[in-house]
Structure 1
Amino acid sequence: MDDDRIWAFEESLWIGDADHYHELIDDACVMVLPAPPFVLTGAQAIDAVADTPRWQTVTFSDRQVMRPEEGLIVIAYRAHASRDGADAYDAFCTTTMRRLEHDVWRVVQHQQTVPIVVAGHAEQ
């Protein structure tokens, strides 16, 4: 998967509906999110997203792509997401994707760390 497709894939996870999310998250996925219950498996993450309003927009900065071996992609980035009626959301993230077959990829790991705010300044 080329870099443009990687970032389109990742964006679709932030703004796509629950059915789309379910399609792209592997049953063996593990996630760490900055809200209870903090550590989720694939099925738990899919269930949580089904009950969560989706982001309308997301932008990525500080983007990194690594391909440690054939069929495995690891990305890291800073996300800035927003939707009507909610505060903007900023987090540092990682996602690991594995290829199941030609052009079929699933997320097997995702993590979000919200920057610590001290006296109005984000620690970086």
Structure 2
Amino acid sequence: MIEAAKLKVSTLYLNKDQTHQGRCIVAFDRHVTEIFQLDDKELHLFIEDISQTARILHEAFHPDKINYGIYGDLVSHLHVHIVPKYEQSDEWGEAFVNAPPSKKMLDPLEYQEIIMSIQAKLNP
């Protein structure tokens, strides 16, 4: 993951595997393992961070749908995968594959361009 931005109560990371163009992770800043461990204010702000990220990805990449995944079996820190989905993809209509057998890695400049696009939409 590459840190892209600090949000209200979380940090936005760009996933290095861009098999799903625009895929990001929003990680809650305070260490908790479950969403129910957040107080009402934290929960509200975390959902705002997730929603803002999804809106930005929608504007930047024009996906047909955005999928959200909260796991934590292997990484015991609250985080949400925000995964743009496209009708022409092999996975359309199914849950996204978290660790596809073939990953799409970009060159450093391409990652930086995506991050700059996200940051510009965060701070217009």
TM-score interval (norm. to shorter): under 0.3
Instruction: Give the TM-score normalised by structure 1.
Output: 0.25
**Higher-RCO chain (CA-CA 8 Å, sequence separation at least 6):** 2
Which structure's residues are more often strand, by fraction? 1
What TM-score do you get using the length of structure 2 for normalisation?
A: 0.25
